[in-house]
Structure 1
Amino acid sequence: MELKWALLLLGLFLESSESRGCNIGYERKNNICVDTNECAPALSVCGDHSNCFNTDGSYHCTCKEGFQSAPPIFTATTGDCRDINECLAETQTCSSDMNCVNTIGSYECICPPGYRKTRTDSGCEDINECSKGQDVCGTNGICNNNVGSYSCKCHEGYSNYGNDRSKCIEMSCDHFEVESDTKDVPVKLKHLLALLKSSCESLRDPNGGHQKGEELLENVFTSTDELLSEGNIADGATLSHFLDAVENSMRLIGPQLKEPLTRIETHNTFAEVAVMRSQAPPSGRVTLNTDPALFKTSWETVVGNSYPGFAFAALVSYKELNSSADLLQKMSREKSDDKERNVTYLLSSKVVTAVVSNAETKQLSEPVTLIFTHVEERAESEDMSYSCVYWDEAEGAWSGRGCERAWSNSTHTECSCSHLSSFAVLMALYPVQDTLELLMITRVGLALSLVCLFLCILTFKFCRSIQGTRTSIHLHLSICLFIADLVFLCGISSTQNKVGCSIVAGLLHFFFLSAFCWMLLEGVQLYRMVVLVFHTTIKHLYMYLVGYGVPLVIVSTSAIAYPKGYGTDRHCWLSLDFIWSFFAPVCIIVVLNSFVFIITVWKLAEKFSSLNPDLSKLRNIRGFTVTAMAQLCVLGGMWVFGCFLFQEKGTQVALYLFTILNSLQGALLFVLHCLLSKAVRDEYCKLITRICSLKEMYSEFSTNQSSNSQQPLRSDQTTGESKI
């Protein structure tokens, strides 16, 4: 500002120097020098909040009342005036019971809250908030006027949640009770509901004491954390009780919190609560943020149609709350096309509960916004999509009604919902449709395998030169795979009959496990041949107990423990949440056989390096070991690829490899144990030679018979009778 006046003075100086000899502050008019009026409105040489006074050849500025000149020099001419804070300068004349409030150029004397000015403006007097016509406590509260304030005492059954200057509203504690006929409610949940009911009843009692909101919040979330740590919230009824208890607890605790924003985090929960208290309803936006989700709404939505003097909004996130597969699959009932396509649902986000003080949240006037963070980063594709859902307590399942997905990417999903409840984001996995190529590979490969396995069974049963313990193992291995492939080919798609489908799944479970058990026996037999003695056998009774008894025990136990695991809507095989009843034994057998084969190869290397080895026997054992390891790779490798099909990121390559290996395993075993075995090839050659010899003998016999029949009949000349 000083620069402005300096430039102005410089301009006046230059102008005056050009005015043909007139002094500064004068200008030439009609060839005479006259005074320049620097206070004219066009010049405005003095600043704001100042008065300009013109003098002969000059001017000066004075500050208006309530302002004072600034410290720099020439303030008398620049008019730089600043406000005087009368409240700090102690120049105000407010009485002792009033508060001084500074204004621009002046000040005001106002009464503190709870007081008003007297009629003579000589001071402040107490406002009687309880006077007739002021409904500060509501119809169910008693107003007690205090000096400068007031307090409300609620009737029994009503409460203002510890806010003494808020209206009394009706309060019910019935929702904290567990119905007598309710079964299987966790003990921790009962304790939590008992704690909340006790606190609720203390608030309803006008003469009773109650816990502070912060203390109650900590106790509730400690109990919730213990309940979630037990991991027994699996069925729909228990989950409904739990989520309802959390929602009602926040309605009980939220109004009692003193801080505008409260955050609490435990091992399994994370919550944020915003509270507003004022005589007038709050307005504007409110945002709550926990790590798994972001909640946005307006204070108008939070308040609703009635405002008792306080409002709150809360967001609770559960870190370890998961839904069982049955609860997730109930989602498909709302979409008939999803049911036909056998869509699988998985939780893609943490579950959160949103609560506001507005009691009418079934149909909000303005939708609320929730932004979820995905548990796993994954973009949508043709076989996967995200959907926003809420927990429907009436149905005991997740539902998408009233929630729409605004947008979604690989890491976040935004949901817009017209009601409040507990929310989550579900990931819909659409099954890979079987192509014509896969069906043809499966059917042709299995048909070829059945023929090869039948040849293996005949070979191992009737080929006398190769009879032994190992051949018996191969025989039963081939029988198990033959039956499994035949059942697979004929009944894998028979899903219309649930009982029949379960039987097919059980047979497949048994015979595939049995095949792996016989493969384990082969590994044990090789170990005994190499490590123990060269000519050792396993009793057939023991082999049958392991080869058929162990799978029978596993399948029987699994069927009794979880009968729903046998048969799905798409195939007659084990369900996804039950598949490890097959994969766990298979993995154990593959690991054990791998360990046995490593030891076998190591011992074989030692024997070959000895001085006088029995080379013929060692070569036989080496051949047995190589074929057994190849067999392990065929059978074990097939199910290794099969494991990838049950993962969320199963690829088409794994699907085709699994199908090819599965359908051709019989043919591969025929090549390994028959065509690559010299003894078996020799038997085949003998058999073929015998067949060819029989064919030649039959041909020669047929030829001789034909030639004899073609010779002419010789007649006796005397009798004329024919002779042969």
Structure 2
Amino acid sequence: MGLCFYCTFLLASSCPASSGEGPGPAAVLPHFIKSPPASGHRAAAQPGETGPPCPFSASPPAVRTMGGPRGSVLLQGLCVLLILLEAGSQKTSGCARWCPPKSTCVNATTCRCSPGFSSLSGEIFSSPLESCDDINECGPPPLVSCGRLADCQNTEGSYHCMCSPGYALASGATTFVNESENTCQDVNECTSGQNPCHNSTHCLNNIGGYECRCRPGWKPVPGSPNGPSNTVCEDVDECSSGKHMCHYSTVCVNTVGSYKCRCRRGWKPKPGFQDKQLNTTCEVPAAEISFPTWTPPPGIKSQKLSHFFERVQELRRDFNPDLAQETIQKLIESMDEMLKPSGDLEAMDPSERHHMATHFLLGLETVLRTLAKAIPRASFTYRSPLDTELSLMIQEHEDGNVTMGQTHAQMLLNWAVATEPSNSGPTVMGILSIRNMQNLLSNASLELEPEKKEQLKKIHRSPVRGAQLQLLSAVNVVFLSNTNTEKLDSPVTFAFSHLENPQPKKLGTRQELICAFWKGDKNNGHWATTGCQTLGTRNNSTTCQCNHLSSFAILMAHYDIEDQKLSLITKVGLVLSLLCLLLCILTFLLVRPIQGSRTTVHLHLCICLFVGSTIFLVGIENEGDQVGLRCRLVAGLLHYFFLGAFCWMSLEGLELYFLVVRVFRGQGLSKWQLCLIGYGVPLVIVAISAAVKSKGYGYILYCWLNREDGFLWSFLGPVIFIVLCNAVVFVTTVWKLTQKFSEINPDMKKLKKARVLTITAVAQLFVLGSTWIFGLFLFDPDSWVLSYTFCILNSLQGLFLFLLHCLLNKKVREEYRRWAGRITGNKYSEFATATSSTSHHQTQAHRPSESGM
């Protein structure tokens, strides 16, 4: 400091005087070597000064330097050098060396952060551990404001503002600093060519952005992301997806990005509408669709049928194509009313009912096929309160298989099968399931195809005469636009639901589930299986496949297998019994010694059996596929005479009871009482049965009582009662006979006693009808042991009666000898017979005859 002061002092002589003389050497020195003010900032020049002020201007008068002017210059240079060295030394020793980056030195102990940076202590700090970090002017909290539609972007040591995405400055610049410079406005990416939307989409500008949206009638491709720039679209088929707004009287036709509504074939737009528009509404011309003519067949007399066809004529007269759906519903309700179980349909002859069923099903199919074309909807289902169900499908031409169904039935077929050959109008498919058709189709026969007959014949080793049928499912009327369905190009598969029934037995038995269809002809109708096969049954549903269409149903068929051996035994036994019964009748009428109440019972028993067996042998088999008057008459006569035979069997038991149990306690019934019981009781039973259900006499296979609705019990009930009563009499009789044999002759040999008792007991089995017990236990027709036993015993009942009442009776044998003597002219034989007869009467007074028992 002394050196600097000295030089300064020396240089003071060169400073201008206060009088304002020219500048001295000090004027040429740089101003930064001058001592800085105490504040640390450079001093500003005073007004009027031409140079830096001389710090020593107030010093004493200048002293002249040594050596003159040249020495003065050297001295000044040396001083300047010294001053510079001293200033550098002062600078080095007065500033802190530890100031961090982004800062400047203030003095030896403090530093200052550069603009845009700050330390924990602020702008100025004195701790060597602190650092200058960037100040985030954008916040939070923000220290600056960029204005609306703009975003603040921080930079190192500073910041700038940018318009938000989708916006840009009006000037075209990209950044700005002050809010006052904000001129951000929306950018239309769709018109500026900046959007990368796929050509299948539509660009939609939004405020601050854009969107790639599918056009109306288009949708994003499956798997395509739904975003503003990568969405890819495809056409929407509004017709198949059901998203169209076409009126139900039109057909939807898909177009690229849209659709059209076209009138169905045969329909036309309503007034005020045009075809192939989105709002097209159509109507069917009245001249195109009309209610078909449907009249009852001639010769049918039924109040229910008459009322039904009157209702049909009313519907036809008031038919309006726009109300076809309501017309169909009313038709089904009228049909249900006609088919209710109570009515006069059951009183019709089976041939008339089956002919009516054929006419009814064909007419119903035609009417429904026609009216379905007037229904504007593509599908229609109606289910009546009585469970009659109709399903319709009305569509334009399609390819491949189509399935339709409902509760009772389902159908799978090829679309080409359903299409009408002329291809005019929409294609109609329909299934009508009727639960109450049993009233019209009862007692219908089954026509088996030859292959099926041969198969059953090989299984049972006997021909099949027919089958007893049980209707398990609804009758399903199937109809298409194509009316030529007798032979289809491809088969149709059905699945029919039916009632629960015991599972069909294994192949080789008489019972099985079959798929059958109703086959009508001009005068009648019957079930058939030709062209249909049963594929399987599961969960009360049977699957069938047919190569034609008709009215189908699931039937339980119980085949009537004709056992030729059993048939031969029956015929031979009946012929032999008829001869024996005829001899019995002649014997009881002509042999006077045996006349009495018991003979009267024997006589009328043989008469009933003879007449009944004759009718059975001649007319039991029904001829044809219908039950006619002849068959009903045969069934009624068989019912009466066989019941009469059992009534006389009961009187046999009653007479036997009086003879054995109540002997010597009074006589039995008189002849007129016996006839009243023997012929009156069966007459009452047959009269009541005929009055209750006259159609119960006769069915398809035999002229006998129909098994439906328990009508067979009008015969089985009395038979069971009589057989049980006679069984009691039989046991009582055998027991009493055993006692009487012991009382009459205790010394009778046991073998003889057993022989007589056995013969008498066996004979009474046939007389009292106890052999019918085998028939009552014949529940299974396949039980050949019971079948043969029952057939042999009952077909030979006349033979047993002849043996018991004629050949084993001594009086009858003697009368036979006397007749034989008259015929041959043998007087000795006649005399011997008379003598024997007298001796017999004398012996009879002392003990009863064994044969008489």
The TM tier, using the shorter chain, reads 0.5 to 0.7
What's 2:231 paired with?
A: 106
Of 785, 809, 830, which aligns to 1:653?
Answer: 785
The amino acid that maps onto 1:193 is V
Q: In structure 2, the residue corresponding to 1:267 is in which secondary structure?
A: coil
The amino acid that maps onto 2:403 is T
- Structure 1 residues 199-238: aligned runs within 5 Å: 201-203=319-321, 210=323, 213=325, 219-230=330-341, 232=345, 235-238=353-356
Structure 2 Cα separation of the partners of residues 203 and 599 of structure 1? 75
- Structure 1 residues 517-666: aligned runs within 5 Å: 517-522=647-652, 534-548=665-679, 574-575=703-704, 577=706, 586-593=715-722, 631-634=767-770, 636-637=772-773, 640=776, 649=781, 651-666=783-798
Q: In structure 1, the residue corresponding to 2:703 is in which secondary structure?
A: coil
Change in 2 beyond 3 A, CA 1:675/1:589: farther
Q: In structure 2, the residue corresponding to 1:225 is in which secondary structure?
A: helix
- Structure 1 residues 145-184: aligned runs within 5 Å: 145=274, 149-154=278-283, 156-158=285-287, 170-176=288-294, 184=302
Of 465, 468, 476, which aligns to 2:604?
Answer: 476
The amino acid that maps onto 1:666 is G
Contact 1:442–1:660, Cα closer than 8 Å, also in 2: no
Counterpart check, 1:321 vs 2:440? no
Q: In structure 2, the residue corresponding to 1:320 is in which secondary structure?
A: coil
Change in 2 beyond 3 A, CA 1:669/1:585: farther
Structure 2 Cα separation of the partners of residues 246 and 671 of structure 1? 64
Change in 2 beyond 3 A, CA 1:480/1:285: same
What's 1:239 paired with?
A: 357
Q: Deviations over 1:471-520 (max 9, x none)?
A: 42133223443565577679989999x99999998876664343223224
State the aligned residue count. 557
Instruction: Please list every run of 5 or more consecutive structure 2 residues that lacks an aligned counterpart in the other structure.
Output: 1-197, 225-229, 246-254, 455-462, 737-742, 745-758, 822-826, 834-853
The amino acid that maps onto 1:659 is C
The structural deviation recorded for 1:310 is 5.7
Structure 1 Cα separation of the partners of residues 712 and 786 of structure 2? 17
The amino acid that maps onto 2:337 is E
The structural deviation recorded for 1:317 is 2.2
Of 298, 302, 312, which aligns to 1:193?
Answer: 312
The amino acid that maps onto 1:295 is M
Structure 2 Cα separation of the partners of residues 196 and 96 of structure 1? 52
The structural deviation recorded for 1:98 is 3.5
Counterpart check, 1:420 vs 2:563? no
The amino acid that maps onto 2:648 is W
Change in 2 beyond 3 A, CA 1:555/1:87: farther
Of 474, 478, 482, which aligns to 1:354?
Answer: 478
Structure 1 Cα separation of the partners of residues 355 and 577 of structure 2? 51
- Structure 1 residues 453-492: aligned runs within 5 Å: 454=583, 458=587, 462=591, 464=593, 468-482=596-610
Structure 1 Cα separation of the partners of residues 610 and 541 of structure 2? 49
Structure 2 Cα separation of the partners of residues 402 and 502 of structure 1? 30
Q: In structure 2, the residue corresponding to 1:150 is in which secondary structure?
A: coil
What's 1:163 paired with?
A: none
What's 1:22 paired with?
A: none
Give the share of equivalent positions with the same residue, in percent.
25
The structural deviation recorded for 1:656 is 0.7
Contact 1:129–1:136, Cα closer than 8 Å, also in 2: no
What's 2:27 paired with?
A: none
What's 1:514 paired with?
A: 644
Q: In structure 1, the residue corresponding to 2:478 is in which secondary structure?
A: strand
Structure 1 Cα separation of the partners of residues 606 and 394 of structure 2? 76
Structure 2 Cα separation of the partners of residues 138 and 583 of structure 1? 57
Change in 2 beyond 3 A, CA 1:306/1:388: same
Of 247, 264, 275, which aligns to 2:383?
Answer: 264
Change in 2 beyond 3 A, CA 1:423/1:307: same
Contact 2:537–2:543, Cα closer than 8 Å, also in 1: no
Q: In structure 2, the residue corresponding to 1:256 is in which secondary structure?
A: coil
State the TM-score, normalizing by the size of structure 2.
0.49
State the TM-score, normalizing by the size of structure 1.
0.56
The structural deviation recorded for 1:348 is 5.5
Of 469, 477, 490, which aligns to 1:366?
Answer: 490
The amino acid that maps onto 1:512 is F
Contact 2:297–2:359, Cα closer than 8 Å, also in 1: no
Contact 2:217–2:256, Cα closer than 8 Å, also in 1: no
Aligned CA RMSD, in angstroms, stands at 6.4
Structure 1 Cα separation of the partners of residues 260 and 631 of structure 2? 77
The structural deviation recorded for 1:311 is 5.0
Contact 2:636–2:686, Cα closer than 8 Å, also in 1: yes
What's 2:564 paired with?
A: 435
Q: In structure 2, the residue corresponding to 1:172 is in which secondary structure?
A: coil
Counterpart check, 1:343 vs 2:466? yes
Change in 2 beyond 3 A, CA 1:687/1:661: closer
- Structure 1 residues 400-415: aligned runs within 5 Å: 403-405=531-533, 407=535, 414-415=543-544
Q: In structure 1, the residue corresponding to 2:490 is in which secondary structure?
A: coil
What's 2:402 paired with?
A: 286
Instruction: Please list every run of 5 or more consecutive structure 1 residues that lacks an aligned counterpart in the other structure.
Output: 1-82, 116-123, 159-169, 205-209, 608-614, 617-622, 700-724
The amino acid that maps onto 1:652 is W
The structural deviation recorded for 1:95 is 8.8
Structure 2 Cα separation of the partners of residues 668 and 515 of structure 1? 15
Change in 2 beyond 3 A, CA 1:306/1:96: farther
Counterpart check, 1:381 vs 2:508? yes
Structure 2 Cα separation of the partners of residues 305 and 519 of structure 1? 71
Q: Deviations over 1:596-650 (max 9, x none)?
A: 569989999xx9xxxxxxx99xxxxxx9999877744435436536x75xx8x45
Q: In structure 1, the residue corresponding to 2:438 is in which secondary structure?
A: coil
Change in 2 beyond 3 A, CA 1:510/1:260: closer
Contact 1:442–1:659, Cα closer than 8 Å, also in 2: no
Change in 2 beyond 3 A, CA 1:129/1:511: closer
Q: In structure 1, the residue corresponding to 2:280 is in which secondary structure?
A: strand
Q: In structure 1, the residue corresponding to 2:336 is in which secondary structure?
A: helix
Change in 2 beyond 3 A, CA 1:254/1:655: farther
Structure 1 Cα separation of the partners of residues 382 and 440 of structure 2? 29
Q: Deviations over 1:556-604 (max 9, x none)?
A: 999999999999999xx73564999996554343244357569989999
Contact 1:457–1:478, Cα closer than 8 Å, also in 2: no
